[in-house]
A and B are shown apart, each in its own frame.
Chain A
């Protein structure tokens, strides 16, 4: 009973604080925009901690945040090794291969309006399919090390990037293209000086969607077979050993990696498409 009262009290304090912050005069400033969700997050974690420890919830069901933090801090080398195997080797390699292949196909198909017209619906259709399911097939073909994960990731990120690149390359007006013609620019100068820059907002949209897909592909593919290392491997074995604190620690790593990767892409986008209305 006291646990619930305490939890509700924490909730009310957190809510009151945020209510004041959100309706304060400066609430649209950057600092407030960071502070408010932070207070909300801390409130949730405190309630989680209080309820789990005071109600004696078994750590097999839900470990308290303090225990997860402990485990996280205590197994940094292991987590780093998993991160290196899954994210740096599997996800990053696959992401690069998939993105380059998508650009390549988009540019090759670009000369034929007939092909681009076909790629758009088929690519959008493929992007909606559960491609993660190809993981067991790739593991069988390429072995259980990171190469098979990179292949799954490559296929998963290929279609969203392809569709966005093709759509982006079509995003110039006849007026703009005519202007390039009057400058005497041929196909390639027009592509590099007008159409590719104009396609960048679309391309980055695809690249940003693909960041999450890359991590999902690399982690889920490890459920089908992996060396004794990697985030997906650690998650599935820790679940088997009922070591939920380790699972949560891996999920924290995945969350940090995912946000960082996405943030990196958003940052590059800001640099590249500084001219676009959405960035000004």
Chain B
């Protein structure tokens, strides 16, 4: 409870700042609109209005302030507009509709989850290889670490076109980008985790005459689980970003990325903002689900959740 109240305060502060910022951001737009509708606006010449800042314009024309919150094509939509758009496109639209965010969300989410599964599996396998094979450790590990400093996401458009030209389209190219992005965090975290048992614990297993196999399943793998979950949480949000960016450069017709692009190109900022928030909510939900599984798993294993 003593963490919820401060966090809520911060959220309220952010939303409050956003709501206030709507006035100066939309002031010019609203003033032009109001003048066309016959409301007196000072300064009267549109050119003169461009000279003053949005804040000054709003102070000089308090009558237009309420109007800044209800623009159909605002520069900055107000919080309630975004919530309304989200509600309309998720709950009120049929999910088969091309305008339903649930439909677009599923397109992105399926690529994310498939890619995440592939990336995590390969990452764990490679980590086991690295821990048990000295040659692999020395050859591959430096590259795995270096690759985290490289903006891999820049590869996304090329991967899509490359796979497209050999006839692979749709879900798989996006999933491959997702897999690639979640792969390296899992490798690095898992290697750290599999190496986390100290020599005392390894020696104890030796005195039990445990085989290498038993050492892996009974000591190394269980002690790597907290590290694995930490990496999984990084990996899943990276996967989602990968799937979204994978939709951007190719003119995909469905998915969060496609929605953002549509809103951008057809001058419908509300569509862009709703897609953005839907993506954020999805990311938060995925991380929350992983945290829940983490807590359950660690508790049933007798470890304390980090």
| Chain A minimum-CB-distance residue to B276 | A133
The distance in angstroms between the C-alpha atoms of A259 and B145, with both chains bound, is 10
The distance in angstroms between the C-alpha atoms of A211 and B146, with both chains bound, is 13
Q: Which chain A residues border B165 with CB–CB below 8 Å?
A: 58, 60-61, 242
Query: Is B69 in the interface zone, CB < 8 Å from A?
Result: no
Indicate with 1 or 0, residue by residue over A239-259, a CB within 8 angstroms of chain B CB atoms: 100101001101100110011
- Tally of contact residues, A, Cβ under 8 A: 64
Q: Is the CB of B75 within 8 A of A141?
A: yes
Q: Is the CB of A244 within 8 A of B142?
A: no
Query: Is A137 in the interface zone, CB < 8 Å from B?
Result: yes
Q: Is the CB of B135 within 8 A of A19?
A: yes
Q: Which chain A residues border B113 with CB–CB below 8 Å?
A: none
Query: Is A119 in the interface zone, CB < 8 Å from B?
Result: yes
| Chain B minimum-CB-distance residue to A44 | B143
Q: Which chain B residues border A250 with CB–CB below 8 Å?
A: 154
Question: Which label, helix, strand, loop or mixed, suits the secondary structure of the B interface?
Answer: helix
The distance in angstroms between the C-alpha atoms of A66 and B15, with both chains bound, is 53
Which residues in window 205-250 of A have CB below 8 A to B?
A: 211-212, 215-216, 219-220, 223-224, 231-232, 235-236, 239, 242, 244, 247-248, 250
Question: Which label, helix, strand, loop or mixed, suits the secondary structure of the A interface?
Answer: helix
Q: Which chain B residues border A212 with CB–CB below 8 Å?
A: 148-151
Given A23-B135, A115-B10, A216–B143 Cβ distance below 8 Å? no
For the complex formed, measure the closest distance between the CB of A236 and the CB atoms of chain B, giving whole angstroms.
5
The distance in angstroms between the C-alpha atoms of A121 and B6, with both chains bound, is 9
Which residues in window 118-141 of A have CB below 8 A to B?
A: 118-119, 121-122, 125, 128-130, 132-134, 136-137, 139-141
Which residues in window 148-163 of B have CB below 8 A to A?
A: 148-151, 153-155, 157-158, 161-162
Q: Is the CB of A22 within 8 A of B135?
A: yes
For the complex formed, measure the closest distance between the CB of A147 and the CB atoms of chain B, giving whole angstroms.
16
Query: Is B275 in the interface zone, CB < 8 Å from A?
Result: yes
Q: Is the CB of A40 within 8 A of B143?
A: yes
Q: Is the CB of B154 within 8 A of A130?
A: no
For the complex formed, measure the closest distance between the CB of A217 and the CB atoms of chain B, giving whole angstroms.
9
Given A235-B154, A258-B151, A137–B273 Cβ distance below 8 Å? yes
Query: Is A36 in the interface zone, CB < 8 Å from B?
Result: yes
Residue of B3, B139, B245, B275 with most partner-chain A CB within 10 A: B139
Query: Is A39 in the interface zone, CB < 8 Å from B?
Result: yes
Q: Which chain A residues border B275 with CB–CB below 8 Å?
A: 133
Q: Is the CB of A23 within 8 A of B6?
A: no
Task: Find A231's partner among B135, B154, B162 (CB 8 Å cutoff).
Answer: B154
Q: Which chain B residues border A143 with CB–CB below 8 Å?
A: none
Q: Which chain B residues border A134 with CB–CB below 8 Å?
A: 276
The distance in angstroms between the C-alpha atoms of A243 and B245, with both chains bound, is 20
The distance in angstroms between the C-alpha atoms of A48 and B126, with both chains bound, is 21
Q: Is the CB of B166 within 8 A of A61?
A: yes
| Chain A minimum-CB-distance residue to B9 | A118
Given A129-B237, A132-B245, A134-B276, A140–B138 Cβ distance below 8 Å? no
Query: Is B240 in the interface zone, CB < 8 Å from A?
Result: yes
Query: Is A114 in the interface zone, CB < 8 Å from B?
Result: yes
Task: Find B153's partner among A15, A116, A220, A224 (CB 8 Å cutoff).
Answer: A220
Q: Which chain B residues border A18 with CB–CB below 8 Å?
A: 135, 138-139
New A-B contacts (7) at CB < 8 Å, excluding given A117-B6, A231-B154, A261-B149: A115-B9, A117-B2, A117-B3, A133-B276, A211-B149, A220-B153, A244-B161
Pairs A–B under 8 Å by Cβ, sample size 28: A18-B138, A22-B137, A22-B138, A27-B134, A36-B139, A37-B140, A40-B140, A118-B8, A118-B10, A119-B10, A122-B14, A129-B279, A130-B241, A130-B276, A130-B280, A136-B264, A140-B264, A212-B149, A216-B153, A220-B154, A224-B261, A235-B158, A251-B154, A251-B158, A255-B150, A259-B146, A259-B149, A259-B150
A residues contacting B by CB (< 8 A) are: 15, 18-19, 21-23, 27, 32-33, 36-37, 39-41, 58, 60-62, 114-119, 121-122, 125, 128-130, 132-134, 136-137, 139-141, 211-212, 215-216, 219-220, 223-224, 231-232, 235-236, 239, 242, 244, 247-248, 250-251, 254-255, 258-259, 261-263
